[in-house]
Each structure stands twice: as structure tokens, then as C-alpha cells.
Chains A and B, each alone.
Chain A
């Protein structure tokens, strides 16, 4: 191929300018909003994270100093506690622990409930009840958790007393080494509603004759699940897992409502969102640090958003 061919075929010659103009005009509103509310803040924080701020005014360039300071801050990563796996370990490890427990649990529970409700009488009511957790404002969930785990009036402790586990009664959200798990349970309750709903619709989309055919072919319930149901709901699993991961990384309201701005006693269940809030809006205002933490959240979630965007 000569250079002229390349020029003519590759660029300029065949562009339909009318069409291009139309495309640009139609894309302009969306791109504008995307630019102002997504790209803009991202770029702004990326830039701002390399500067020192006096409240909301930018001062001078400091390079990676803020990043280093953030990653050595005990509120973000408490390296010595992390080594011995004692809470508080800092917002980042705690947030990741939350993710590692929450995501598989809510996914499996959602799928389990969806399977359980699939052929059940009254499945609509049951589904609505489970999904209600997802529709409830997360602040309310946090408050409800406070009540549920209350040492005197709480339902959870009452249940422990009833089944004879009197010795286990405690204020679950004040116990440094277990508080986070008590909160994660609340988060799972919320997210299960979502994953159940997604799985329910995926299950409803499976042709019933496939399962009947498998039954006739001799497959028991487990094999039918393994060979037919699971492969057919697998694409949905990617969505469920990624959505709940993103949800957990951005979690804020539940933690705030249940433990205040510090994230429980000594920050034992503090998460990244809470630290962003603390850095940006409480004295002393550390805007640069807030940007760094927010960027850490973004770095964790971006590949997943990318994966979802590329799915068929």
C-alpha cells in the first residue's frame, strides 16, 4: 500500500460530514453532563491530590506527599494493627474486608432466595419483602441496626436470650473486634434484595422445558442447578457481583448512622466514604486528603464499571 492510498482510504476522503455533525449535535447534551459531573470532578481531584489546600483554596504543588501521608495515616491504613489483624485496621482494609464478606454472601443468598421463591406460592409477597430492604434508605437501615443490636431493647439480643445464649448478649456495635461483622450483616440484608431480584428475573427467563428435559434425562435437583440453571444465570452473576462491589466500596450512610462520623468506637468500622467525608467536611479541613481517598475508591471501582460497560 502506497502512502497516497493510505491517506485517501484512511482519513478525510470518506468522512460523511453531515452525519458527523448530526452525531456531535445529538451527543452534545449527554457529553456535557458527563463532562461536568463525571470527568470534570475526576480530573479535578486527580490534579488536586498533588497540591496542598488551605480549606477549599489550592496552595502549592507537593507531588506525592498527600498520597504518602494518606497511606500512612492510621485512620486509612493502620499498618501495625493490620499485621496482627486487630480492629481498627483503618478504613481501606476494613472496606475491603467488608467487600470480601459482603459480596459473596449477598450474591449467594440472593440466588438462594430466588431459587427458593421461584416455584413457591406467594412468591410475589416474599420477593417484595426481601426487596424492601433494598428500597429502604440506607440511613434508616443504619438506625434500624442500632435498634436491632441494642443490648437492652434489641431484637437480636432478645433472640440470644430466648435460645439460651445469655452469655453472648452484648452491644454488638460497640465491640471493636466484631462490630464490623454486625454491620456487614445489615449491608448483606440490603444487597440480598437486589441480587435476589436480578436472579429472579434471570430464572424467569429460563425456558421451563429445559429443566423438564433435564429431569427426564435423569438429572436431580443439584445437577439441574449445576448443568442448566447456573450456566444460564452466569452472565447475571457478573452484574450482581460488580454492582454489589461498587455498592460496598461507596458505602457510607449505614456506617454513619450506626457509628457516627468516626465510624464506631475508635473507627473500628470506618470505611473510605466516611474518611472522605471526615477529611473534606470536618475541622481541620484536608481537601487534598479527601481527594486522594476518593480517588482510591475510584481506582477500585473503575475496572468493574469498565467491565460492565463492555458486556454484551
Chain B
């Protein structure tokens, strides 16, 4: 059982011209499922590769428990990794692929067969063992790749966008399968994805990354409820949080000529952003009896079955509201109202005003 600790880990490429990661500080608890979430090119894969040992940090230290590992080759770290494209050896059968890590480590054939059978049953690929990786389905390849990763009981389990090559239905299925596996095996897991639904549903905690740094590490619920920065707020949620820039004067925030709202919390910052989640907004045609309302014009109405998405122009910004049902139409003057408890305030630096 292992906990991972990254201390001010940075990674530069091309002699410092490209900064892939900058001063990452992160603790992953023993048995935890941690997700690196961020847009493409944010450095999450590089961070994972440093934990794996495929990249060496330019700066900083990585510990597995009390052992410093950043100078160790991957083989000595006892990590297992699942790659986005599965990285199955095309010239080996499914069985040979799965047993390869054991073979390299000199485990005798009888024991290998036993373990392969065990793992194949756990992952429901018993019938594919003698097939070629090229002749099995994407989901089965994924399972093979997982089987190869867990067969030698690694102390750290690393997954790099493992579900992104699967179709939507299979992705859902594998998501719960992965979560089940991780619970059963109780291995410290780091999972990289750009898909926030995956991150929210699987992660014990999520590290949100952008531009090579970790913006916030939190449990899914907290990440959604209390995004620490405006950037995280606009990244999490689908559609993400509405943010309106405004100027703060004496506790009143002026959003545009028509709209001013009371500041929910005190801040000395003059340039601020107010935010609220689309699902917390109500759309009405008559002026509601609350200070916290915005006047705007309906741009489009998108009925999505489960809910209706109303896009409203407020000043220069388009604001989303998720409502159960609505009669408003495009071009109509409407009011958006939000419970002040559901309003977020970010200062000029984009930090949440607590």
C-alpha cells in the first residue's frame, strides 16, 4: 500500500522553453482514487508520466511512502499503467500480453497460468485469451490492458485517458467496472482525463489542472460547490458556471447599465465576477421580488428533454439557465433570479471571495 507525494515538481522541455508542469504539490493517500482533470495540453499526462517514471522531473521530488522515486526507473517503482491506446503488444496473444509483466519478472509458467486465469475471470475475458489483440473489440482490448496492469499487483495504478477510445455506451460500462475494480483491489490510483463526468463519477478527489499547474484539489462535490477560482468555476459543470464581470462599489456590483446586484460577500476588489450555476437560475417574464435578479433578452431556447437550456443575453455576456420547462421564446425580455446563497463572488485575481 502506497501513498504518493509530489513536492514542487516541475517539468521543462526544450531547455526550459516549454513548461509542462510547474511546482506541483500533491498528496495521494493510500488506496485513494485521484483524478487529474484538465483541458488538452494542461500537463496532466506529463504529471502522470513523472509518477510512472517515464519522465524525470526537472525540479522537485516524488515520494512513494518514504522512498524517493524520481530517479528510479519505472520497473523499480512497481507501478502499472494503462495507456490511452491500450499499448497491447500486437504480436502477442491476449494471454501473452497479460502474462508479460510476470514473465519479465521470472515468475514460473504454472503460477503465471494460474494468475492469468484468475485475472481473466475478474475482467470477463476468459474466452479471448487465445485471440489476437487485433481481432477483439475495443472494450475487450481495454480489459486486456487492465488485466496486464493489475496482474502483478502494483502498488500504484496509473491510467491515462483509458476510456476515451471507447464508444459512449461502453465508456459508461467500463467506468463503473473500473471503479469496482479499484474498490476491490484497493490500489492507490491516479487517473488522467479531460472528461469531467468521468472525473466526478470516479474520483475520490480531483486535481484540476490548467497551464501546467494544479488549480484545485478537492472532492467532486466540493469542487462543484466551492470552485476556488473563476477558472475552475468555468471548467466544472455542464454547461459551466455563468460568470459576469462587474465593478464593485459599496457592496453593489454593477454588471451593465441595466443590471446591478448586491454583493453577497465583502471584498475590497473593485473588478469582480459574479457567478451562478445554470441549474440555480430561474427564468421569469415578470420582475421577481428579489434584489438578485438580472434583466436580459432570450437568445435561444434549447429543449433537451431532461431539461430546457435557456440562453439569455445580459449585457455583452450570454448566460445559461437550466430549467425544467419554460414558455419563453427567443427575443423575449426576461428576468433571471438566483438565490443569493447560490451566488459566487470572485475578486480581480479570480479567487473565490469566501
Q: Is A2 an interface residue (CB 8 A)?
A: no
Q: Which residue of B lies closest to A213 (CB)?
A: B87
Across the interface, do A212 and B91 meet the contact criterion of CB distance under 8 Å? no
Please name all residues of chain A whose beta carbon is closer than 8 Å to the beta carbon of B73 when the two chains form the complex.
215
B54–A216 touching, CB < 8 Å: yes
Q: Which of A164-172, A183-191, A227-235, A253-261 is near enough to bind chain B? A: A227-235
Q: Is the CB of A227 within 8 A of B89?
A: yes
Bound form: Cα–Cα A170–B146 in Å: 64
A219, B54: Cα distance in complex, Å: 13
Residues 86-126 of B at the A interface (beta carbon under 8 Å): 87, 89-91, 100-101, 104-105
Q: Would you give the 0/1 interface string for A208-242, flagging 1 where the beta carbon is closer than 8 Å to chain B?
A: 01101111111110010001100110000000000
| 8 A Cβ contacts from B41-55 to A | 52-54
User: In the complex, what's the smallest C-beta–C-beta distance from B170 to chain A, in angstroms?
Assistant: 21
Q: How large is the interface on B (under 10, 10 to 19, 20 to 34, 35 or more residues)?
A: 20 to 34
Docked complex Cα distance between A210 and B87 (Å): 5
Q: Is the CB of B89 within 8 A of A216?
A: no
**In contact, B75 and A219 (Cβ under 8 angstroms):** yes
Q: A207-B85, A223-B104 are in contact. Are A216 and B91 (CB under 8 A)?
A: no
Chain B 71-87 near chain A by CB (<8 Å), digits 1 or 0? 00111000111011101
Residues of A within 8 A of B89 (CB): 210, 213-214, 227-228, 231
A207-B85, A209-B85 known; A215 and B100 CB under 8 Å?
no
- With A216-B81, A218-B105 already in contact, the answer to whether A207 and B91 are too (CB < 8 A) is no
Residue B293 lies at the interface, judged by CB distance under 8 Å to chain A? no
Please measure, in the bound complex, the distance between the C-alpha atom of A217 and the C-alpha atom of B81, giving whole angstroms: 9
* From B80, B81, B87, residue with most partner A Cβ within 10 Å: B87
Interface residue B148 (Cβ < 8 Å from any Cβ of A): yes
**How far in angstroms is the closest Cβ of chain A from B335?**
53
Residue of B nearest to A230 (CB): B91
Q: A213 vs B100: C-alpha distance in the bound complex, in angstroms?
A: 10
- Nearest to B84 among chain A residues (CB) is A209
A218 to B73, CA, bound (A): 9
> A208 vs B104: C-alpha distance in the bound complex, in angstroms?
19
B75 to chain A, nearest CB (A): 4
Question: B53: which A residues are within 8 A, CB to CB?
Answer: 215-216
Of chain B, the residue at the smallest CB distance from A224 is: B104
Residues A218 and B101 in contact, CB atoms below 8 Å apart? yes
**CB-based contact B75/A213 at 8 Å:** no
State which residues 167-189 of B face A: CB under 8 Å: none
Whether B75 and A209, one on each chain, are in contact in the complex, defined by CB atoms closer than 8 angstroms, is no
Docked CA distance A12–B230 (Å): 78
Closest chain A CB from B51 CB (angstroms): 11
Residues of A within 8 A of B (CB): 207, 209-210, 212-220, 223, 227-228, 231-232
* Other 4 A-B pairs with CB < 8 A, given A212-B83, A214-B104, A218-B75: A215-B73, A216-B75, A220-B75, A227-B89
